[in-house]
């Protein structure tokens, strides 16, 4: 049996380091907003190449707090990709803003910059590109439009730890980025965790306040803030794992190459292979017109898969007011995508077996 993802296996190589980090926090007697959070913030800012990193409780909060910190007029519009994980969109509505859905490029599954301009109105204040599956969005045209129309750009980098766009790391491509260190992400904690990266000192300071009751100085509350702190324990664990992220991403890239060259089934649509070593390969997502049949077949052969995601956010009950929209490309992607196992714990032999299985699937139609 090859599981889609076994988090215990992912963390196994780090077991000793994680135990030491946990012991250190335990013995320090200091559990919230201390040295561990500060240390991790500094190393993650270094990693991304940004001036600031602010640890928060999770990825959804990271995005939401940035949108709140920008203090946009109520019901301002934020451009989001129509196909994404729902958290990207929840951040917009939780901040009291309005999502405007833009279709993806069917080849990359990423927001299509060519379709953004038509979605911009006098109410638009921000664009929220999601580096879905670990590949950076096509940022140059997005940044150009943002500059032209004076919009903020908030990267949802929750799937793109270490991904590169034209030599720059994700998280350093717009005005701010929201990160998640949910256990299954390329850099994962042993619980919930998140961060904001930015080069804007004023925004950074606001987020620092907003994550902690709107306060920078004890018992002085400047804003109506949240409690959204990254805790010392998770920060220490993240610091222990961060030095290995690049090597783990390299391993993901090797496995992705193996899939890209090995899968020959003509009914399978592979992800783009033009920037394999810039991509963080959080997920290896293929498309097949009979995705559910392929999934059941792989399951029979002992191969776990997952669907990212079965339903587009605008078709969820939570967003029923948008369900009549016509977003056919997003719909089609949500029907056809299937994620193959791809993680640093996977062996070459396992990937060969998965490739062989896919190549044998419905060979004769």
Residues that bind ligand PLP (CB under 6 A): 58-60, 84-85, 87-88, 130, 156, 158-159, 180, 182, 192, 194
CA distance 91 to 79: 12
Least Å distance, CB 283 to ligand PLP, is 9
Q: Looking at beta carbons only, is 271 or 357 nearer to ligand PLP?
A: 271
Nearer to ligand PLP, 182 or 322 (CB): 182
Q: What are phi and psi of 92, to 5 degrees?
A: -65, -50
Instruction: Considering the complex, state which of residue 161 and residue 295 has its C-beta at the smaller distance from ligand PLP.
Output: 161
Residue carrying structure tokens 């222990």:
240
Do residues 92 and 128 make contact, with C-beta atoms less than 8 angstroms apart?
Answer: yes
CB-side neighbour CA atoms (13 Å) of 102: 24
- Closest contact distance (angstroms) between CB of 289 and ligand PLP is 25
| 130 or 345: CB nearest ligand PLP | 130
Nearest distance in Å: CB 57, ligand PLP: 8
Nearer to ligand PLP, 67 or 355 (CB): 67
- Residue of 150, 154, 193, 183 lying closest to 170 (CA atoms): 154
Residue 60: CB minimum distance to ligand PLP, A: 4
Task: Decide whether 21 or 109 has the Cβ nearer to ligand PLP.
Answer: 109
- The residue assigned the tokens 């640890």 is 55
Distance CA 67, CA 147 (A): 18
User: Helices marked H in 164-228 — which ranges?
Assistant: 201-210
Peptide bond into 152 cis (omega under 30): no
State the residue number with the nearest CB to ligand PLP: 59
Cβ at position 63, least distance to ligand PLP in Å = 7
Report the nearest approach of ligand PLP to the CB of residue 87 (Å). Answer: 3
Interhelix angle for 59-69 vs 86-94, to 10°? 40
Coil, helix or strand for 37?
helix
- The number of CA neighbours under 13 Å toward the Cβ of 246 is 6
Cα dist. 75→117, 248, 323 in Å?
A: 19, 41, 19
Task: Give the end-to-end CA distance of the chain in Å, rounded to a whole number.
Answer: 26
| Residue in the block written with tokens 């995705």 | 291
Nearer to ligand PLP, 181 or 259 (CB): 181
The dihedrals phi and psi of 235, each to the nearest 5 degrees, come to: -60, -40
- Smallest distance from the beta carbon of 89 to ligand PLP, in angstroms? 9
CB of 347 to ligand PLP, least distance (A): 26
CB 4 within 8 A of CB 350: no
Nearer to ligand PLP, 283 or 358 (CB): 283
User: Between 60 and 263, whose beta carbon lies closer to ligand PLP?
Assistant: 60
The sign of the CA dihedral 326, 328, 331, 333 is negative
Question: Min. distance of Cβ 342 from ligand PLP in angstroms?
Answer: 15
């Amino acid at each position: 049996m090859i599981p889609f993802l076994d988090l215990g296996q992912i963390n196994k190589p780090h077991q000793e380091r994680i135990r030491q980090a946990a012991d250190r926090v335990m013995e320090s007697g200091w559990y919230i907003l201390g040295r561990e959070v500060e240390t991790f913030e500094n190393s993650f800012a270094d990693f991304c190449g940004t001036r600031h990193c602010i640890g928060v409780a999770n990825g959804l909060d990271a995005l939401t707090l940035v949108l709140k910190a920008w203090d946009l007029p109520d019901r301002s519009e934020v451009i989001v990709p129509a196909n994404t994980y729902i958290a990207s969109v929840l951040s917009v509505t939780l901040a009291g803003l309005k999502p405007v859905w833009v279709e993806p490029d069917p080849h990359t599954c990423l927001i299509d910059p060519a379709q953004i301009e038509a979605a911009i109105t006098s109410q638009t204040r921000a664009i929220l590109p999601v580096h879905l599956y670990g590949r950076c969005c096509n940022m140059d045209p997005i940044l150009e439009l943002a500059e032209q129309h004076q919009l903020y750009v908030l990267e949802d980098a929750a799937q793109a730890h270490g991904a590169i766009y034209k030599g720059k790391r994700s998280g350093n491509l717009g005005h701010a980025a929201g990160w998640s260190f949910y256990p299954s992400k390329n850099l994962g904690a042993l619980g919930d965790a998140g961060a904001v990266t930015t080069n804007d000192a004023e925004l950074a300071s606001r987020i620092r306040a907003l994550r902690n009751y709107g306060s920078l100085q004890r018992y002085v509350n400047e804003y109506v803030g949240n409690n959204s702190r990254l805790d010392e324990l998770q920060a220490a664990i993240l610091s222990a794992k961060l030095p290995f992220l690049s090597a783990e991403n390299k391993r993901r890239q090797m496995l992705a190459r193996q899939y890209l060259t090995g899968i020959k089934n003509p009914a399978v649509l592979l992800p783009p292979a033009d920037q394999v070593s810039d991509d963080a390969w959080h997920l290896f997502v293929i498309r097949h017109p009979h995705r559910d049949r392929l999934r059941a077949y792989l399951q029979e052969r002992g191969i776990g898969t997952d669907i990212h995601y079965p339903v587009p956010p605008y078709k969820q009950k939570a967003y029923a007011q948008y369900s009549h929209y016509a977003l056919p490309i997003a719909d089609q992607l949500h029907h056809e995508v299937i994620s193959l196992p791809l993680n640093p714990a996977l062996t070459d032999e396992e990937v060969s077996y998965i490739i062989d299985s896919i190549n044998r699937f419905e060979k004769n139609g």
